[in-house]
Chains A and B, each alone.
Chain A
């Protein structure tokens, strides 16, 4: 018998048969109109399958996938924490669910109150003067932040500031956001303890520097030991500080980036604040800013138009910051995601958020302590919410980080982040998050230890992994060199429009 896990699922196009359909449309309640022939095309081959076949197909694909609901997901810098079900209840409250962004603001006061309160909380959590909920993802927040920094300098007539400094331990999105903003980047090396090299930073600072993008803790999972000095050096040369909030889960309730002197930072609600991540739902990347960037925030902000009195709650509405960089997104951010983040903050409170950060750091250090004798740790320091080990051993040169990750899949774990950050050879970046039990951490550590032993005793076991997954070892080189981006239908769709009762 074929293991259900090994059964191949055909493409939806391969399931297609001419004439099958999933839905019978009701009679229209508006007059039937023929589509103009210029809008009709015959090359749009959509699959034709029944509703049941569609349900089974996607159910099956979902079962082949690994998700936070099906197993441990220690993907470093991604904070794959549990998405509490109560968040989903909140997001499905009809008053939130069935609103439209073009409704009169008087009819959506509850939604605006939620957004306003979330803005205020994110200000408090990060130590910022203002927050915009507009950006739709982390990198979108980065782009918003760099555009604000650029606008700030230009508004002062300071037109020569075109360089953004970025440490070599930064997320790859930082250089991309800088380039998209029309600015140029200068990469800063790390020192021997994994911090920004302060000497190099000092020499790179000039009247051409618009700002520094920094992640703290950085992608090595290490707190920048000279962060205040770094901030001062950049401020002294007239630059601003962009904080990448991807690793905020280590600091929430303990350190406020605004207090460190950061001028702008994005939050990843889909990391720190437990909303779904990746394919599980849209991201959300609100930006917080210091006093001097307040006027440049993305448009619009939610504000109180009339204060409350004894009888009436306050009246909420929108306002446009005077020097705004403009809209970053249609309407008002990822509203459903904002509701989930609100529910999370509300459920945990200030002490709870701090506790989550402390447990995230504790879990990472617990895991590190269990595996550090079997793996090389490039920077011998206490980690924060994540850590990076080398996935290589000198005495077995043919075993790589990729082999370790592939073998972890056989144990039912999602692999850590591979080959990132680039400054660590054969990097494996591991972030357990606070929501994992000690038993799960132990099981993962045991798997890593067994794999380290197998690397020496039975390396083929690693090199041929995974054996138990729906698809075995992928030929990544061939896949990357011979890209096939187009799906060809096996069965042509019905070319005769007269056979379609809707036309």
Chain B
């Protein structure tokens, strides 16, 4: 195992993380996801103000191996997108849980975050798929 899953946030089965920070929540893709994709060469982000339901596609990442959809972990409205990633997609490889957050969202139901996987459950989820 050469990926991490910090315990300060929650995770989805489709390899996004979400972390509450004040009024909004940050969303990104996990270390496991970037490791599977390998070198990321392109990131497409949604417009600020866009509204998404749980599971909707909010972004697209392309690596030298594949293209992948990024899904909304919980329904909400985008308040900011991390435009730095459009010029520096490699940040997703180097700092997936930090600088390379994808969007900030105003969640419709912040309390629903507790229903998502914690870091332990997510680590299990990844290990099971890596066999």
Q: A: which residues have CB within 8 A of B?
A: 397, 418-419, 422, 425, 476-477, 480-481
Contacts and interface: CB of A to CB of B under 8 A. Distances in A.
B39 A477 contact: yes
B31 interface: no
Given A481-B89, A481-B90, A419 B65 contact: yes
Interface in B60-93: 62, 64-66, 89-90
Q: Closest 3 interchain pairs by CB?
A: A480-B41, A477-B39, A419-B65
A480 B42 contact: yes
Contacts, number: 21
A64 to B, nearest CB: 23
Main secondary structure, interface of A, reads mixed
Nearest to A418: B65
Contacts of B130: 425
A485 to B, nearest CB: 14
Contacts of B65: 418-419
A208 to B, nearest CB: 16
B66 A480 contact: no
B41 A419 contact: no
B89 A419 contact: no
A481 B91 CA distance: 12
A476 B64 contact: yes
A172 to B, nearest CB: 8
Given A397-B2, A481-B42, 17 more contacts: A418-B65, A419-B66, A422-B66, A425-B130, A476-B39, A476-B64, A477-B39, A477-B41, A477-B64, A477-B90, A480-B39, A480-B41, A480-B62, A480-B64, A481-B41, A481-B89, A481-B90
A30 to B, nearest CB: 51
A425 B66 CA distance: 12
A477 B89 CA distance: 11
Contacts of A476: 39, 64
A120 to B, nearest CB: 40
Interface of B: 2, 39, 41-42, 62, 64-66, 89-90, 130
Contacts of B39: 476-477, 480
A418 B63 CA distance: 13
B65 to A, nearest CB: 4
B93 to A, nearest CB: 9
B71 to A, nearest CB: 12
A476 B42 CA distance: 13
A414 B21 CA distance: 51
A397 B1 CA distance: 11
Contacts of A419: 65-66
7 contacts: A419-B65, A419-B66, A425-B130, A476-B64, A477-B41, A480-B62, A480-B64
Contacts of A480: 39, 41-42, 62, 64
A480 B39 CA distance: 10
B26 to A, nearest CB: 24
Nearest to A422: B66
A421 to B, nearest CB: 10
A456 to B, nearest CB: 20
A405 B66 CA distance: 16
Contacts of A422: 66
A481 B62 CA distance: 10
B117 to A, nearest CB: 18
Contacts of A477: 39, 41, 64, 90
B111 to A, nearest CB: 28
B2 to A, nearest CB: 8
Nearest to B129: A425
A480 B37 CA distance: 14
A397 B89 CA distance: 24
B109 to A, nearest CB: 25
A480 B65 CA distance: 11
A438 to B, nearest CB: 33
Nearest to B64: A476
Nearest to A476: B64
A344 to B, nearest CB: 34
A177 to B, nearest CB: 16
A481 B92 CA distance: 13
